[in-house]
Structure 1
Amino acid sequence: MTFLTIAIFFVLSFFGSVQPDSISLDYCYQQAYEHYPTAKNVELQKKITELNVHIANTGYFPDITINGQATYQSEVTEIGLSGGGGLPSISKDQYEGSVDVTQTIFNGGAVEIQKELERAKGEQQMHATEVNLQQIRSQIDQVYFGILLSQQQAKTINLLIENLEEQLSAVRSQVENGVLLPSQQHILKAELISARQDSIDNHSNIKAGYEVLSEIIGEEIIPKAKLVLPKEQPGYQSLHPQRAELNLFESRRQTLEQQRKLVRTKQMPSLAAFGTAAYGRPGLNFLNDDFHDYYIAGVKVRWNVWDFFNADREQQILKIEQQKIDHEQRAFQRQLNASLDRISEHIGSIKENMKRDREIIELRQQVVKESASQLKNGVITATEYVMELTRANQARLSLYINRVRLSQAKVEYLTTLGIPADGIR
């Protein structure tokens, strides 16, 4: 490997690991699903399911058992003849090593049904894991928008600081010229110090938010990384739910269906061929006391009467389990619809508040502009000016916050549906 090749490799490795300048909500979802410990259970469950299917598939293979025994008995059968003599005696110590083979010929397709049952169980476990990941997504939403709200508040605080610094500079010259009292300058200084303290606290909250988000998604996000406000999703309220719970309900039904099929095989007789090959003494001919090999082969039918009658009861149990799943899904659907209705009302309320915020901001800006002129001319005090400036900034902050909350409410609606925030464009 040449020096140039090594250099190119390290350059590509460096740039490939650089974090994007802006972070989207879907990016956080993706990183959490890839790195969150619980998410790895999905791949582990796939491996477990694959192994269980292989185990079930061995039902097609013959059942092979190796046996061995050595015994000693206190007496054996002896056959004597009148006039003396008799058959050869049988040894009291007996030995046998054997191999038993049983090959199922017919069992109602139980093996293939068992394989499908294992697959259905695996799907059920994976969907259960996805349900848990749904909660992680809600946590990401809260932290993500918490950071955005704090950042909007930071912008408002910075604007307040700029206004106070501008007015403090103007008032300082007025005080030096004897037009205003020094107390007016002190009031503005105190408000400026308070605003800077709020800025420090707000910055600390933002930093803590980035740390929490980094911990959840398993990747360090630097505070300089910009969090992107999710784009407007047209027609989101007409989408159908794609929640993992719905998939879980369906996978549970599939599991019950395979269990019903497996129960039906119990009502059918099973047919198998068997054989035993052995070596020892005595063999099947107990009069032959020499070590020798022997075998036995045949066909057997098995039909358990109690399995036949209990199968109906097991079918009834599975039907009841099906009814329980139906009830649980209807209850879930009701809760889902109630949550969607609540969020829709919240979205409408935020939109109305934003309209009022814009009207208030326009009025407050005019008042602040007039107050600044009055403060310079000594008509009002610095306290009065600060009050008007604070009200204007509160109105502006309210609009910023409602804008973020509107986006948050729409994302919450999509999260409740189980749809990615940027999944439709």
Structure 2
Amino acid sequence: MMFFIALTFVFTTFSGGAPADSITLDYCYQQAYENYPKVQNIEFQKKITELNIQIANTGHYPDVSINGRASYQSEVTDFSLPGGGGPPAISKDQYQASVDVTQTIFNGGAVGIQKELEKAKGKQEIYSTEVELHQIRSQIDQVYFGILLSQQQSKTIGLLIANLEEQLSTVRSKVDNGVLLASQQHILEAELIKARQDSVNSHSNVVAGYRVLGELIGEKVATGTKLQLPQQNIDHQSLQPHRSEYDLFESTEETIEQQKRLAGSQKWPSLSAFGTAAYGRPGLNFLNDDFHEYYTVGLKVRWNFWASYNAGEKQQMLQLRQQQVEQNRRSFTRQLHASLNRIQERMRAIEENIERDKKAIALRKKIVEENVSQLNNGAITASQYVTELNRAHQARLSLYINRVRLAQAQSDYLTTLGVPIQ
């Protein structure tokens, strides 16, 4: 199965078995594939295909039927001669028990074609299911990285709260001693309340994210479980698309091709041998009114004019369907390449922003350190200090967010390619 078959490609990531206290993105992919209910449809379809092939194969076997009939008729042919004599009268009650056997000798290879058609249809259903399963991988990406972003937001908010509490303690002491106005203390207290509210909301998002992730992968994931950030070096030149959609296009074309062959077989007459073994009265000799055995054997040719006439038009219609599939393949490829180009551009922009974030953090750190001293000396207000502290907080948060977004963009790139899990 193309989506989850191992394939050697040039990138590194955390993979393999997950420790009890941490999981990887690849582990989530694997668990989702193993536990998602619709995965069972693949095995069901394989069994359905096997049964359909067995049913189609019975077309090689003779058609056997057992028949019985009893009837009474109001009159029969009378062979009596004027004045008496002649053959005995035929009974008005008649009986027949027979075994009829028909063996197809030639029908344009329809049975073999039907078996190949069932195989192609089975593959088509399997790949259709795998296309749906691919969407789960995209959902896991969104939830997994959403949790990482919310967790980092909680951490940075925690640092902000700790910093505010520390400065609030210092300012409160100075207010009590009459060095600073009480309004400076109130500003820090209000900002601390807001930060704690943000912390509650962020923690709620994390808890909800773990719950959704557990639903997707089919197992409970504790809120404290560490999600490892994938570290991926993508070689854009060596990676090629391995989407299940291409397998679906190919199997659809194969299904149509077998349908064309089956339609072509209808152009030819069918030849079959038949035989009937019967017991009853009257038999083939209706003048013999005794119960007795009899049989018939022969060959039969059947040619359906309209079926033969319409076969060519069916093939033309199926040819047009194949062209539709090819156009859909081209459209999908164009959209896929467009998506990959957009993701590459997004990765490039995020990498540039990460470098800017590092410079901004260094500058904001110096500014906050200077403001701490100025606040304690009464040179700036608490409001000014909080403003700079928030800016430093946002710079740290922006750096991690961009790192997570870069990892998410890289995973989106691999997911869009359909690169299998190692």
- What one-letter code is carried by the residue in structure 1 that aligns with 2:359? E
Q: Which residue of 2 aligns with 1:406?
A: 406
Q: Which residue of 2 aligns with 1:183?
A: 183
- What one-letter code is carried by the residue in structure 2 that aligns with 1:45? Q
Q: Deviations over 1:180-204 (max 9, x none)?
A: 3333233222222221121111101
Q: Deviations over 1:198-253 (max 9, x none)?
A: 11111011101111222222221111111122221330464111111111100001
User: How high is the TM-score relative to the length of structure 1?
Assistant: 0.91
SS in 1 for 2:346: helix
Q: Which runs of structure 1 show a deviation greater than 6 angstroms over 4 or more consecutive aligned residues? A: none
Hey, what's the Cα distance between the residues in 2 that align with 1:238 and 1:171?
59
Is the 8 Å Cα contact of residues 34 and 40 (structure 1) preserved in structure 2? no
Is the 8 Å Cα contact of residues 279 and 292 (structure 1) preserved in structure 2? yes
Q: Deviations over 1:272-308 (max 9, x none)?
A: 2211111111111111112222211122222333333
Where does structure 2 lack aligned partners over 5 or more consecutive residues? 1-17
Hey, what's the Cα distance between the residues in 1 that align with 2:193 and 2:317?
72
Q: Which residue of 1 aligns with 2:285?
A: 285
Q: Which residue of 1 aligns with 2:262?
A: 262
Q: Which residue of 1 aligns with 2:120?
A: 120
Q: Which residue of 1 aligns with 2:46?
A: 46
How many pairs does the alignment contain? 405
Q: Which residue of 2 aligns with 1:93?
A: 93
- What one-letter code is carried by the residue in structure 2 that aligns with 1:366? K
Q: How far has the Cα of 1:39 moved from its partner? A: 2.3
Q: Which residue of 2 aligns with 1:208?
A: 208
Larger CA deviation: 166-175 vs 379-388: 166-175
SS in 2 for 1:275: strand
Is the 8 Å Cα contact of residues 160 and 195 (structure 2) preserved in structure 1? yes
- What one-letter code is carried by the residue in structure 2 that aligns with 1:193? I
Q: How far has the Cα of 1:394 moved from its partner? A: 0.5
SS in 2 for 1:229: coil
Hey, what's the Cα distance between the residues in 1 that align with 2:95 and 2:230?
80
Is the 8 Å Cα contact of residues 67 and 99 (structure 2) preserved in structure 1? yes
Hey, what's the Cα distance between the residues in 1 that align with 2:24 and 2:305?
63
Q: How far has the Cα of 1:80 moved from its partner? A: 2.5
SS in 2 for 1:85: coil
Larger CA deviation: 388-397 vs 181-190: 181-190
- What one-letter code is carried by the residue in structure 2 that aligns with 1:311? A
Hey, what's the Cα distance between the residues in 2 that align with 1:244 and 1:352?
33
Q: Which residue of 1 aligns with 2:383?
A: 383
Hey, what's the Cα distance between the residues in 2 that align with 1:328 and 1:281?
65
Hey, what's the Cα distance between the residues in 1 that align with 2:71 and 2:371?
113
SS in 2 for 1:293: strand
Counterparts in 2 of 1:297 and 1:350: CA distance versus 1, 3 Å: same
Q: Percent identity?
A: 65
1:198 aligns with 2:179: no
Q: Which residue of 2 aligns with 1:357?
A: 357
Q: How far has the Cα of 1:19 moved from its partner? A: 7.8
Is the 8 Å Cα contact of residues 80 and 88 (structure 2) preserved in structure 1? no
SS in 2 for 1:311: helix
Hey, what's the Cα distance between the residues in 2 that align with 1:44 and 1:237?
38
SS in 2 for 1:194: helix
SS in 2 for 1:333: helix
- What one-letter code is carried by the residue in structure 2 that aligns with 1:147? I
Q: How far has the Cα of 1:108 moved from its partner? A: 2.8
SS in 2 for 1:222: coil
Hey, what's the Cα distance between the residues in 1 that align with 2:82 and 2:71?
31
Structure number with greater CO (CA < 8 Å, separation at least 6) is: 2
Q: Deviations over 1:10-49 (max 9, x none)?
A: xxxxxxxx98321222222222222223222212111111
Q: Which residue of 1 aligns with 2:232?
A: 232
Hey, what's the Cα distance between the residues in 2 that align with 1:83 and 1:74?
23
Hey, what's the Cα distance between the residues in 1 that align with 2:259 and 2:158?
65
Hey, what's the Cα distance between the residues in 2 that align with 1:128 and 1:271?
39
Hey, what's the Cα distance between the residues in 2 that align with 1:20 and 1:60?
57
Larger CA deviation: 67-76 vs 299-308: 299-308
Q: Which residue of 1 aligns with 2:74?
A: 74
1:251 aligns with 2:281: no
SS in 1 for 2:91: coil
1:163 aligns with 2:163: yes
Hey, what's the Cα distance between the residues in 2 that align with 1:334 and 1:387?
48
Is the 8 Å Cα contact of residues 144 and 213 (structure 1) preserved in structure 2? yes
What does 1:410-421 align with in structure 2 at a 5 Å threshold? 410-420=410-420
Q: Deviations over 1:94-118 (max 9, x none)?
A: 1111111111222232212111100
Is the 8 Å Cα contact of residues 210 and 221 (structure 1) preserved in structure 2? yes
SS in 2 for 1:279: strand
Hey, what's the Cα distance between the residues in 1 that align with 2:20 and 2:288?
86
Hey, what's the Cα distance between the residues in 1 that align with 2:236 and 2:328?
26
Hey, what's the Cα distance between the residues in 2 that align with 1:90 and 1:276?
23
Is the 8 Å Cα contact of residues 358 and 399 (structure 2) preserved in structure 1? yes
